[in-house]
A and B are shown apart, each in its own frame.
Chain A
């Protein structure tokens, strides 16, 4: 009796708690984010219904079949039922994956859109750096041995290369709203992870690899970039800012950086 009541209370309390959304996603700022939220909602309903039904059923059998001197039914099972929940489960679970794969492909498999802004991202213990191509629209040469944060050269730009001199290096990621962006993620020491909640994207930055990541932010504003792969004692302080600017403001900022 107590068990059934408790399981039902748990099922009800969990439902109410999540329906209240006390601690929840922030608002999405991209088309991908909206897709993500829809896929999450679909999964949420499937999971929620299974969770509640299973708990209700568990409570019910515990209540209904509590021993009261009566003899139990002698049965070793039922193949028809067995097939039903096997096939039902398979269709439901695989269906969800197949529906969601389109969204995954949109982030990782789609060809980068023409005219996308390319930004190189470098992560190290415990800071982020961003590099833009500058007016010549080319990334200049870098050499790891030249990398020096205290001298303001986290990427190791080689000044002897013409193309490197106008590269713009910042500690804050500025991007224009409404235009596609491709980040090229790199790491200098250990694995880090680039995560912006409002974009609904997260990607490891791995030493020795250059990993592209596409997004298009629609809503201007300031958003926090959090390292989400344990990288050492300052992991929890590895923060930077994503500043999504109206496109014309971004262009003006870029011109200003390029200098006279």
Chain B
């Protein structure tokens, strides 16, 4: 067959509700996820600002706090339990509804079918169901603020017995139940999404799109979907058991002989460590769920803007797979001081440090991709290069925390907080920013403002280093995390200056994000109209109009003849060869 096969053109549904709300179009669903994540990141960021403000001004009376939380901040003074509930929701919303949602469900949904030459995801209705389940999970989570006792105070890790016993603190009643329900719903949604992604990638690649020609973004989503499928089921099971311990009188996590509020409980035979094993069996792979799509995107963006093939494509794919496999056997490094056998700590430690190897491969290959390139300094490139810098900065502290010996002091200090914010928070968010600036022209048919984007990059890059470098140091001074104030301890009083500095840097960095928001919304309506392929990139999404038609390729099934990274091929007049070019 020499001509591309013609398939019937599919038009978008006409009704507003079917088209934009209960849509089965992967592009609309991708945008829904994107805006859900955008809303969530704003909520999460505002919560963190409230926390940073309280840490540096523990006695301040703030009208706004009282308006938002009349019980938790009566008279404007934030109670410890309110602080801890803000922290819990901050962590939960950021991990699940931002870092898991935006790169995978958001950009993955929008661009996966486009990049592999498919008309839609394999299961469009399941896709819609997955989004609305995520939406419901978010509503249930935020509802926890408004029930009696408020949101739970046990952190996003929800360790029992604290999370299993409603009497263990305010927020551990209805608020905690809602938290578990929300996480359970999110697990279900993620499982649906994972099945859909895996099936789509296996079944719906167009002719010529072999695995070895897939863009690394697709590899990122593929590996992430596999991890999600294996990890979220475990968290779901763990959450159900926790719910049973709370409501049905079981004792999976609660041992006998507990005395809470001077009352002897009648639980018997459970183990608090069981939850930690199940939670971190999910929780550590979750870190890679958040960062792998970013890794794929960064590889993509560096190659496009360096006008150079990805350095070591096969090594990059192998490294992703290695990270995925190793990610499932290192969960114990979260539990070095938990009371688990000290022998297993050594085994987990060796496996953990092994994960540094594929991480190092990726870092050097990113630098190798830039090496010898002809770099175009557009905003997506800056965020991708910033990602590399932050990935190194955030990964390097893992060499400390992966050693049980050093964890004897550093565990649960601000050193850990700085570590995971740097790598899982900031580096992953830089991946999301890079994706936004990179794909915005395709999604909205307009360009984002370039100078504003660069200013946003530079100021954010400076801001995050100003926040998190001193935070490592505060951790080295032994500052425990999850303290609502630092008044009780003499050694913490000496760290007041550091905390003030960190808070100021956080306000600054948050303020800078207004540049992004302004640019995003202004460009949606007023941005310069974008061409079909403004970055001169090779992958299939750039062969169609911006934004793409409802059925992606206008009734034509594309054919692929090239790898995804044919830049600066000698003997060609243009410095890039589209994947669809013979």
Contacts and interface: CB of A to CB of B under 8 A. Distances in A.
A40 B476 CA distance: 10
A105 B371 CA distance: 44
Nearest to A66: B375
A258 interface: no
A96 B357 CA distance: 13
A75 interface: yes
A215 to B, nearest CB: 11
A236 interface: yes
A144 to B, nearest CB: 5
A206 B168 contact: no
Contact of B490 (A105, A200, A203, A224): A224
A74 B461 contact: no
Given A94-B354, A232-B168, A236-B80, A188 B258 contact: yes
17 contacts: A6-B458, A17-B470, A23-B495, A26-B478, A77-B365, A82-B365, A85-B360, A89-B361, A100-B404, A100-B405, A107-B408, A145-B264, A190-B160, A207-B257, A232-B162, A236-B80, A236-B483
Interface string A181-209: 00000001111010101001111101111
B349 A25 contact: no
B272 A207 contact: yes
Nearest to B490: A224
Interface stretch (A52-60, A130-138, A165-173, A249-257): A52-60
B303 to A, nearest CB: 10
B20 interface: no
B367 A58 contact: yes
A74 B168 contact: no
B405 A82 contact: no
B316 to A, nearest CB: 9
A86 B364 CA distance: 10
A65 B498 contact: no
The 3 lowest CB-CB distance pairs between A and B, nearest first, are: A208-B255, A73-B372, A108-B342
Given A40-B400, A93-B399, A73 B568 contact: yes
Contact of A67 (B84, B168, B376, B469): B376
Interface string B357-379: 10011011101101111111100
A228 B412 contact: yes
B473 A230 contact: no
A70 B153 contact: no
A90 B354 contact: yes
B162 A201 contact: no
Interface residues of B, number: 116
A103 B458 CA distance: 42
Interface in A214-244: 224, 226-237, 239
A228 B336 CA distance: 13
Nearest to B482: A230
Interface string B521-563: 0000000000000000000000000000000000000000000
Given A93-B353, A193-B337, A226-B489, A85 B458 contact: no
A230 B159 contact: yes
A237 B486 CA distance: 9
Contacts of A247: none
B14 to A, nearest CB: 46
Nearest to B349: A97
A147 B259 contact: yes
A149 interface: yes
Nearest to B388: A58
Contact of B307 (A46, A51, A72): A72
B311 A36 contact: no
Interface of A: 2-3, 6-7, 10, 13-14, 17-18, 22-26, 36, 39-40, 43, 46-47, 50-51, 54-55, 57-58, 61-62, 65-78, 81-82, 85-86, 88-90, 93-94, 96-97, 100-101, 103-105, 107-109, 124-125, 144-145, 147-149, 188-191, 193, 195, 197, 200-204, 206-209, 211, 224, 226-237, 239
B307 to A, nearest CB: 4
Given A54-B363, A147-B259, A189-B260, A230 B162 contact: yes
B271 A208 contact: yes
A108 B367 CA distance: 41
Interface in B40-85: 79-81, 84
Interface string B472-493: 0110111010111110111100
A50 B396 contact: yes
Contact of B315 (A68, A77, A125): A77
A25 B570 CA distance: 56
Contacts of A62: 370, 375, 385
Contacts of A101: 346, 349, 404-405
Nearest to B162: A190
A239 B168 contact: no
B389 interface: yes
Given A104-B346, A124-B259, A226-B480, 20 more contacts: A3-B382, A13-B465, A39-B405, A47-B396, A47-B400, A50-B396, A58-B392, A67-B373, A71-B307, A72-B306, A74-B309, A76-B310, A77-B310, A78-B312, A93-B357, A96-B353, A97-B402, A100-B403, A189-B168, A224-B491
A120 B569 CA distance: 72
Contacts of B374: 65, 67-72
B488 A239 contact: yes
B473 A81 contact: no
Contacts of A148: 262
B265 to A, nearest CB: 9
A61 B367 contact: yes
B405 A144 contact: no
Contact of A144 (B264, B399, B461): B264
Contacts of A230: 84, 153-155, 159, 162, 482
A233 B170 contact: yes
Contact of A74 (B160, B360, B569): B569
A57 B80 CA distance: 45
Interface string B245-262: 000000000111111101
A224 B476 CA distance: 16
A184 B165 CA distance: 25
B257 A144 contact: yes
A208 B396 contact: no
Contacts of A104: 342, 345-346, 403-405, 408
Nearest to B342: A108
Contact of A191 (B272, B403, B465): B272
B409 A36 contact: yes
A65 B371 contact: yes
B169 interface: yes
A57 B367 contact: yes
B550 to A, nearest CB: 36
Given A65-B375, A86-B361, A72 B575 contact: yes
B31 interface: no
B458 A89 contact: no
A236 to B, nearest CB: 4
B442 interface: no
Contacts of A191: 159, 161-162, 272
